[in-house]
Structure 1
């Protein structure tokens, strides 16, 4: 349904020239994300203040116009694709640091600030914000919060849910709310902060966040362990996670990924490599030798082919080159691959990879796996060519069975990519009907007219 002239006039009163697009040629670029899905919004606005966001939300609610919040569009699940047209609110211009309190170890920021800009601001002061998704150089804090996106450091430091103290937000009715506290302790009222984190803009629009900061470690040590097979690598993962030197990164690459790296890069790996772990520890420089030795002992078993510790910046770069070579190789082999980020208990990783290899054989589709081994978060890449007849259908059948496998192993369908559209219709396999009814009631309470990012995250009623 086209936007009414009365709605557009009022929208133009809220957003001055240059902060409102209505020409389809301008709006088109704000209708897609990294999922390759796309829909044309009827208008795009660029809020710069909390007050503008309140006015916008109240206007959309009054006219029953859908409103989709957008960060930088790096998400992979279609969560920012405006299915019903309406208005896209791009928060990229709302990117200020509002308050910095180093003594209290918090910072208040607007949602459009990029993760990298935040880290660059904090580094000279000796702090960092732990969430570090792969797209950190470009993605926004608002997007990190909307998806609860984490990255490798989550294994030690946690996700945005563990590193966000409070929020300022606007509900679907245009009600202004503040959630959380400025302290690390606080139990007054229900925990609405963590309810909003990961809700993908379906409950409220975040306009400010109070982030909990962590002091930068004095030093870091990088290691690489190569194993003959997955079972020995998984045994090492469980042992590494059980010893006192908790890694700040524990990344996993399976045998299929290693073969791909061999084919498309010059990375040096032992001939019989069947799995690989990249490990980092951090802390005081004086304590790194003890941490490294503790990890080395835990990583050692009969399947260990090589254990290397980087001593210089060049050696660190050389070790990480193996992991960095993987993404370009995947783009060469299957630029339109399906990438899903499932999670299983660490001890179930061998069954997950074995099951994925069986699916690969049965569907005749290459599957390459890598990810954050310390918390069982694996990125499963189904490689297929959608231009070949029947390949897309086959890939989605394989995906369906992969999700069933993950749930049988007591896993979850998403660790940090979110749900959006890509996983929405599988959610009722993981969450029972009673819990879904409660979630729909919460959605209605926050957004009674269903204007905020409609048709996302929760399965549609008719399923």
Structure 2
């Protein structure tokens, strides 16, 4: 159904001629990094907070769905406009408003690219810890929407732990601020943490005050190979059980290593499993930290342990991890990419359970990811229609196994459209009811990103 003329006139009063209803623009904003695709009826590009307030008010008045979008790197369909309406792309709202080294904070608009922010902070000796693999092109707003963190979360935390406050517009059209400019605060409900991870279903973020961290002076990279996934997973539990917390602890299983080896050659070792470990800190403490982590990495099943001595050598050690995504795409363009989380102590059970389910359903499954958090990326690689059908059954079984182990459905990809049907598996009816009531308070007419997150 086309948008009503009065609503289009309202959009034009807000954005002038910069309201896009042509087929090319609608197609360009119809998809994200999932396989879902649905065209919006219009695309707009806010550049200031007052425009967002006016946009939400207009959408509410005419009951038009409104989907906020960063750079479209989400893998769960969270930014796909499944009910049409308007996509608000924040790519032009991309200013770094303030960097305050004395108070270790930065104020940014949601369209700022993660990598651009990190480069702007580097001269101040600071960084924002969340660093998803898509950091060269993903936006801060998208990071906040999904609580996307990356490998450094094992030591430094996710966006929830690294965001002080937000400015946003609720589904009522009312703008508000939440959080503080201080590192401590105990004034009312923590709406900042509530909005982070809400995938644009509660409010549209127009500004974020980010908590910054001093950049460590030195970093060491270690690579350990193991006989099998079980002994590697046990090593993860040992490493996370001793006092020195690595700044990255990545796990790669045997199937993933074989794919990466075929793609990248001998820079990628063949083994039952591999751990990539990074330790950071000041130079005079780093040797002791590396020794402690190395001691924990040693144990049953260890085949090799190597510590890089130069930056070039460290980059070479990371070759296996960097080769994974292109290697998988060559085999299965329709790969299913999920990111489940279990308590670190249950990681060995999860890894072995996934292998059993892959064999049971006869589906190629590649497992790797942020093992230090118990956050693994489970990639199912179906190559034809029959395998795609089996992969869906396998995925449901994986989710059930994760919940049995005390885990949860997502660590950083979010729920979006792809996983919303599994939410009752993870959350009690009373919990889901409270979430719906929160949604109703923020967005009484249900116009913000409908059809996502809540079943």
TM over 0.5: yes
Cα deviation, residue 231, structure 1: 2.4
Q: Distance in 2 between matches of 1:123 and 1:252?
A: 28
Per-residue CA deviation, residues 255-312 of structure 1 (Å, 9 max, x unaligned), is 22122223332134666x2111000011111211111111111111131111101011
Residue 372 of structure 1: which of 366, 370, 373 is its match? 370
Distance in 2 (CA, whole Å) between partners of 1:189 and 1:207 is 21
Equivalent positions of 1:339-354 (< 5 A) are 339-354=337-352
- The answer on whether the counterparts of 1:220 and 1:281 sit within 8 Å (CA) in structure 2 is yes
Aligned alpha-carbon RMSD (Å): 1.1
Please state how far the C-alpha of 1:16 moved relative to its aligned partner: 2.3
CA positional deviation for 1:195 = 0.4
After TM superposition, the structure 1 = structure 2 runs for residues 451-462 of structure 1, keeping only pairs within 5 Å, are: 451-459=447-455
Which residue pairs with 2:282 in the alignment?
Answer: 284
Contact 1:232 1:302 survives alignment (8 Å): yes
Closer, same or farther: CA 440–283 of 1 in aligned 2, 3 Å: same
**SS class of match (2:265):** coil
CA–CA distance in structure 1, aligned partners of residues 288 and 246 of structure 2: 13
CA distance in 2, matches of 1:229, 1:66: 49
Instruction: Give deviations 1:109-168, integer Å, cap 9, x for gaps.
Output: 000000011101100111000000010000000000000000000000000000000000
Aligned length: 455
In structure 1, the partner of 2:237 is 238
Matched, 1:74 2:70: no
Deviations 1:209-267 (A, max 9, x none): 00000011101000001111222212221121122221000000112212222333213
Q: Is the 8 A contact 1:11 1:56 kept in 2?
A: yes
Unmatched segments (≥5 aa) in structure 2: none
CA distance in 1, matches of 2:23, 2:261: 45
Q: How does 1:268-307 map to 2 (within 5 A)?
A: 268=267, 273-307=271-305
Look up the SS of the partner of 2:3 in the other structure.
coil
Distance (Å, rounded) in 2 between the aligned partners of 1:298 and 1:320 = 20
1:57 aligns with 2:56: yes
Q: Displacement, 1:49? A: 0.2
For 1:407, the equivalent position in structure 2 comes to 403
2:178 aligned with 1:179: yes
The TM-score with structure 2 as length reference comes to 0.98
Match of 1:117, SS?
A: helix
Mapping of 1:386-425 within 5 angstroms? Answer: 388-425=384-421
Give the deviation of 1:391 after TM superposition: 2.5
Deviations 1:304-327 (A, max 9, x none): 111101011221111111211222
1:101 partnered with 2:100: yes
Unaligned runs of 5+ in 1: none
* TM-score of the aligned structures, taking structure 1 as reference length: 0.96
Q: State the partner residue of 1:16.
A: 16
